[in-house]
């Protein structure tokens, strides 16, 4: 297992909200393309999440180690698994809103899983005009602080795959 801990001592209300949102999302979903939450608990001023261990790091790490880019077969396998997880979320009207290489984890079994649901939101379309997340992987409508939907997550996956 992997253990993710957050101190609540010096966290803002926004950071606490994002943490609770991530926990709520992970409790509601179970899919082979999403990191599994085994449990979570609060002890004193620390929230601890017990997650599935993804033992090969992230796509960000994988791309960083590659001198000449990734093999097309690897990219195809990554694409399929990423889009499977995204489709699962979108079918449940959940927008991830922070797809980036660091939020796509790898396992030695060959599985690829989405993680970090702190910015996820429920709804076909987000009416929020706040620019949250990693701008490098954002769709144009998100950068313009316009309403956005599933296509914004898909755009972000496309940018990840271009890495």
Per residue in 107-122, pLDDT (tens digit) is 999 999 999 988 888 7
Percent of the chain with pLDDT over 90: 54
Q: Does the 59-162 domain belong in CATH 3.30.70.100?
A: no
Q: What are phi and psi of 79, to 5 degrees?
A: -55, -50
Catalytic residue annotation: 98
Per residue in 117-146, pLDDT (tens digit) is 888 887 766 655 566 778 899 999 888 888
Per residue in 19-52, pLDDT (tens digit) is 888 888 888 888 999 999 999 998 988 999 999 9
The residue count for the chain: 163
**CATH class of the 2-51 domain in this structure:** alpha beta
Helix axes 72-91, 150-162, angle to 10 degrees: 170
Please identify which residue in the block is written with the tokens 């929020």.
Answer: 128
Q: Is the dihedral of CA 148, 122, 14, 33 positive or negative?
A: negative
């Amino acid at each position: 297992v992997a253990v993710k801990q957050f101190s609540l001592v010096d966290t803002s209300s926004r950071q606490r909200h994002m943490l609770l949102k991530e926990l709520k999302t992970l409790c509601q979903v179970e899919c082979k393309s999403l990191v599994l939450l085994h449990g979570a608990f609060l002890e004193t001023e620390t929230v601890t999440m017990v997650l599935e261990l993804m033992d090969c790091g992230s796509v960000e790490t994988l791309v960083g180690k590659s001198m000449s880019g990734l093999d097309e077969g690897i990219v195809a396998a990554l694409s399929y698994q990423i889009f499977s997880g995204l489709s699962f979320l979108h079918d449940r009207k959940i927008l991830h809103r922070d797809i980036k290489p660091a939020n796509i984890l790898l396992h030695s079994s060959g599985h690829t899983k989405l993680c970090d649901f702190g910015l996820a939101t429920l709804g076909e379309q987000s009416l929020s005009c706040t620019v949250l997340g990693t701008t490098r992987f954002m769709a144009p409508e998100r950068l313009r602080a316009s309403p956005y939907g599933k296509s914004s997550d898909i755009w972000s996956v496309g940018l990840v795959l271009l890495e």
